[in-house]
């Protein structure tokens, strides 16, 4: 009896998901969009912060360390809340966003997610630099390479290979973290779950499994891409 | 301070560094000053915006809110340690029917956003487990249960991988010697591998506490009354209670943020101290696991310090 009932429920769940597949895909697209933009911005910001942290100028090093220390120890939920309530108070409301079809909340979410992620990206890159033995650069300088050549031909190729695995887990964590944008009214996967569970609590399991699978596929894609890059770049050292 | 990128500076470079230091100090001060000015211009950091925090009654409530946060984080870390140990044992088992389910569970809960898990919990195990929240005096109890179970499942799965890495980091000679003495696998694990691995894993476990504490702020989203929720209540209600011209948003967030940062900095410092202490220890076969090896959020802190050579 119970079995037949749960069987009916499963069929109903699949039917329901099929009906709602457009909303689901919209959510998936929202998560992809948010992660992609925040991923690019956090990488740029992370590179800048990492450059500051390895620079010979103490003031920049301290500023970079402070940036990392701040975001590393603050909950992302607080960063989200901070951006979405403080920026409008100081008059940053992104009025131009509507014109290009973007939601203000989406921009706040991008800012919160990319500033937060940037500190982890910066730390990963910096530890990549630190993993290159000093002797490598000393040897490069000894054979007369300039700073640019040392960086381009000796340090970066080695640092990049060390940095890839931590960067991959960083981006995966960021995709999962983008779920918090749900609370701030950004249309994405978790928002789809939250909305549809409130309207149709009877299909709870189907909705959860579908959304979870969406995230799993996205994270698998990222790790597959990074594995491929790692294999392409692999050299014996 | 020769580094990979530059040699020890000579007199000329030192002059150049001094010049650029001056330029960057000015630039940084301008950026920070501009941000502070923007906030000050709206009267967000003027003296009356701080009046709520001169009230000792508010601090009493603030501390009890902080206590709610710590309750959720602590309970889930303790439960996650147990779950992690069970999952790691399954993952390291010789039996496929134990190894595969453990693998699937670990990978699933690591791949799914914690918030999704907590929201799902609100509709499933939140109500049945609400009695735990009631016993602890959390409000609302079902949100507390959903939060703690979500945090436990996620952190337990992450810790399971930490445990596995820790066990695998014990030099092979240790278990080979134990097997040669005729110990069974369980005895090797219990008497040889686990005691050494646990010490190596301690820094990574403490670092995971930082993650749990930060993630407990997700309780705010599902309505659990913790530190961040209380912060929102302060700035929403303060204007009326203390007769302020506007809600003290910035000052409140600064105070709440400072509390989180202070606790996490102490925890991170403790993890680093454990790591340094252990990499000096001669009793340890192998290097301590750094935060870097816990994967996910706690990325590469610093390059692993040179550990002592294994004594075998």
Using CA coordinates, name the residue in chain B closest to A130: B303
Q: Is the pLDDT of residue B303 over 70?
A: no
Q: Is the pLDDT of residue A28 over 80?
A: yes
Residue B9: closest CA among A203, A46, B1: B1
* Pure H helices in chain B: 11-41, 56-91, 96-111, 114-123, 130-136, 141-169, 172-180, 185-187, 194-215, 227-241, 249-280
Instruction: Tell me the count of A-B CB pairs closer than 8 A.
Output: 182
Q: How far apart are CA B239 and CA A153, in angstroms?
A: 59
Q: How far apart are CA A53 and CA B24, in angstroms?
A: 13
- A78/B112 CB distance under 8 A: no
- Name the least confident of A13-22, A38-47, A139-148, B60-69: A13-22
- A82/B24 CB distance under 8 A: no
Q: Is the pLDDT of residue B294 over 80?
A: no
| Higher per-residue pLDDT: B67 or A10 | B67
The partner residue sitting opposite A134, judged by closest CB among B3, B214, B260, is: B3
- A166/B9 CB distance under 8 A: no
Instruction: State both tokens at B166.
Output: 């820790």
Instruction: State both tokens at A122.
Output: 């910066």
- A74/B39 CB distance under 8 A: no
Give the sign of the dihedral formed by CA B77, CA B78, CA B81, CA B82: negative
Q: How far apart are CA B163 and CA B200, in angstroms?
A: 10
- B24/A57 CB distance under 8 A: yes
Torsion angle in degrees (nearest 10) through CA of B226, B227, B228, B232: 90
- Name the least confident of A41-45, B126-130, B147-151: B126-130
Q: What is the tens place of the pLDDT at every residue in B22-41? A: 999 999 999 999 999 999 99
Sorting pLDDT into bands at 50, 70 and 90, what band is B302?
Answer: very low
| Higher per-residue pLDDT: A137 or B256 | B256
Measured in angstroms, the CA of A30 and the nearest CA of chain B are apart by 15
| Higher per-residue pLDDT: A15 or B114 | B114
CATH of domain B49-294: 1.10.3720.10
20-39 in chain A: CB under 8 A from chain B: none
Sorted by where each begins, the domain ranges of chain B are 1-41, 49-294
Sorting pLDDT into bands at 50, 70 and 90, what band is B2?
Answer: low
Which chain A residues are within 8 Å of B235, Cβ to Cβ?
A: 85
Contacts of A186 (CB under 8 A, 6+ apart): A30, A34, A103, A105, A106, A109
Query: What is the value of ipTM here, to two decimals?
Result: 0.91
Q: What is the tens place of the pLDDT at every residue in B122-136? A: 999 999 999 999 999
Q: What is the tens place of the pLDDT at every residue in B175-224? A: 999 999 999 999 999 999 999 998 889 999 999 999 999 999 999 999 99
Using CA coordinates, name the residue in chain B closest to A55: B5
Q: What is the tens place of the pLDDT at every residue in A113-153? A: 999 999 999 999 998 888 899 899 889 989 999 888 998 99
Which of B5, B70, B73 is the best substitution to test chain A (most A C-beta atoms within 10 A)?
B5
Sorting pLDDT into bands at 50, 70 and 90, what band is B284?
Answer: low
Q: Is the pLDDT of residue B249 over 50?
A: yes
Residue B293 confidence (pLDDT): 46
Which chain B residues are within 8 Å of A129, Cβ to Cβ?
A: 4-5
> Global pTM?
0.89
99-138 in chain A: CB under 8 A from chain B: 120, 123-124, 126-127, 129-134, 136-138
Domains and CATH numbers, chain A: 34-186 (1.10.3720.10)
Question: CA distances (Å), B286 to each of A49, B169, B170, B268, B311, in order?
Answer: 33, 7, 6, 22, 9
């Amino acid at each position: 009896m119970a079995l037949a009932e749960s069987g009916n429920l499963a069929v109903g769940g699949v039917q329901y998901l099929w009906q709602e597949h457009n909303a689901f895909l919209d959510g998936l697209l929202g998560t992809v969009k948010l992660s992609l933009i925040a991923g690019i911005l956090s990488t740029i910001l992370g590179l800048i912060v990492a450059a500051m942290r390895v620079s010979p100028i103490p003031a920049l090093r301290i500023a970079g360390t402070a940036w990392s220390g701040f975001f590393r120890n603050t909950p992302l939920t607080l960063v989200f809340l901070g951006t979405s309530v403080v920026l409008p108070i100081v008059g940053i409301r992104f009025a131009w966003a509507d014109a290009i079809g973007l939601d203000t909340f989406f921009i706040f979410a991008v800012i919160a997610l990319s500033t937060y992620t940037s500190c982890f990206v910066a730390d990963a890159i910096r530890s990549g630099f630190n993993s290159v033995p000093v002797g490598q650069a000393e040897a490069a300088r000894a054979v007369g390479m300039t700073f640019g050549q040392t960086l381009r031909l000796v340090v970066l190729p080695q640092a990049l290979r060390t940095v890839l695995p931590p960067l991959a887990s960083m981006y995966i964590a960021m995709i999962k973290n983008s779920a918090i944008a749900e609370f701030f009214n950004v249309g994405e996967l978790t928002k789809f779950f939250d909305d549809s569970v409130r309207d149709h609590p009877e299909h709870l399991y189907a909705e959860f499994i579908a959304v979870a699978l969406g995230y799993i596929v996205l994270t698998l894609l990222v790790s597959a891409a990074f594995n491929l890059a790692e294999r392409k770049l692999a050299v014996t050292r | 301070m020769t580094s990979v990128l530059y040699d020890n500076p000579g007199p000329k470079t030192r002059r150049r560094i001094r010049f650029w230091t001056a330029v960057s100090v000015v630039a940084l001060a301008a950026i920070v000053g501009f941000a502070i000015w923007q906030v000050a211009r709206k009267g967000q950091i003027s003296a009356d915006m701080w009046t709520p925090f001169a009230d000792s009654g508010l601090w009493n409530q603030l501390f009890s809110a902080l206590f709610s946060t710590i309750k959720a984080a602590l309970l889930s870390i303790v439960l996650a340690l147990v779950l992690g140990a069970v999952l790691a044992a399954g993952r390291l088992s010789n039996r496929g029917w134990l190894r595969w389910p453990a693998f699937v569970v670990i990978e699933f809960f690591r791949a799914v956003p914690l918030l999704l898990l907590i929201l799902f919990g609100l509709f499933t195990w939140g109500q049945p487990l609400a009695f735990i929240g009631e016993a602890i005096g959390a409000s609302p109890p079902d949100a507390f249960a959903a939060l703690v179970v979500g945090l436990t499942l996620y952190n337990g799965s992450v810790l399971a991988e930490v445990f596995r890495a820790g066990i695998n980091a014990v030099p092979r000679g240790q278990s080979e010697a134990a097997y040669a003495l005729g110990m069974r696998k369980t005895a090797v694990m219990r008497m040889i591998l686990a005691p050494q691995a646990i010490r190596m894993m301690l820094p990574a476990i403490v670092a995971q506490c930082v993650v749990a504490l930060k993630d407990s702020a997700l309780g705010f989203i599902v309505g659990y009354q913790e530190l961040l929720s209380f912060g929102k209540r302060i700035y929403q209600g303060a204007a009326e209670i203390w007769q302020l011209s506007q809600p003290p948003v910035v000052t409140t967030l600064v105070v709440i943020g400072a509390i989180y940062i202070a606790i996490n900095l102490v925890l991170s410092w403790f993890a680093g101290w454990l790591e340094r202490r252990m990499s000096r220890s001669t009793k340890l076969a192998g290097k301590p696991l750094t935060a870097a090896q816990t994967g996910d959020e706690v990325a590469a802190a610093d390059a692993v310090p040179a550990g002592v050579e294994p004594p075998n």
